[in-house]
Amino acid sequence: MPKGVYPHTHIKPKVYSAEMVERVWELYHGQGMSQVEVATELGVTLKVIYRLMVNHGIPRRPQIKRNQRGERNSSWKGAQAGYQALHLRVEAARSAPQVCVACGSANPERRYEWANLTGAYEKIADYIRLCVPCHRRFDAHRRAVTGERTSPDRRSA
């Protein structure tokens, strides 16, 4: 069969651009819009918003309670140093974040971080700006959903 003749085989990947994900964060958590309002604002269907939020671990209101723990990824410890380095790389490429797209705060006294959305830590575009509490909440949610570690253990921090 010749390539490119059967367009139905080219299924749209269920991964959305970091820009789009960041926009959903902004509207939903920053501006407090409902999923329907976000969909309307962005000119897409509710299904797209719903799927994007699920795929990218954006927590919904009210928060889903899960009891799963992400301790089974034993290779994580060795990856911690790499994790830090990759976040610094993002900071070098996109500068230090000074706002949080989740809660909308932009306080020069506060600390903001680049949060990885997809688990593809090497992709500089796959990060959004979050304040520390929002980043931790987001990572905790993603751990519950995926069962994987998302960051170094911060309990002692």
Least Cβ distance, residue 65 to Zn ion (angstroms): 21
Q: How far is the CB of 51 from Zn ion (least distance, A)?
A: 24
**Site residues for Zn ion per CB under 5 A:** 100, 102-103, 131, 134
Comparing CB distances to Zn ion, the nearer of 49 and 100 is: 100
Is 46:35 a contact under the CB 8 Å cutoff? yes
Which of residues 2 and 87 has its CB atom nearest to Zn ion in the complex? 87
Which residue reads 């269920």 in tokens?
Answer: 14
Q: What are phi and psi of 50, to 5 degrees?
A: -60, -50
Nearer to Zn ion, 103 or 125 (CB): 103
Q: How far is the CB of 66 from Zn ion (least distance, A)?
A: 21
Distance (Å, whole) CA 51 – CA 60:
12
| Residue 6 to residue 1: CA distance in whole angstroms | 9
Tell me whether residue 51 or residue 87 sits nearer to Zn ion (CB atom): 87
Residue among 140, 115, 138, 113 at smallest CA distance from 126 = 115
| Closest separation in Å from C-beta 30 to Zn ion | 8
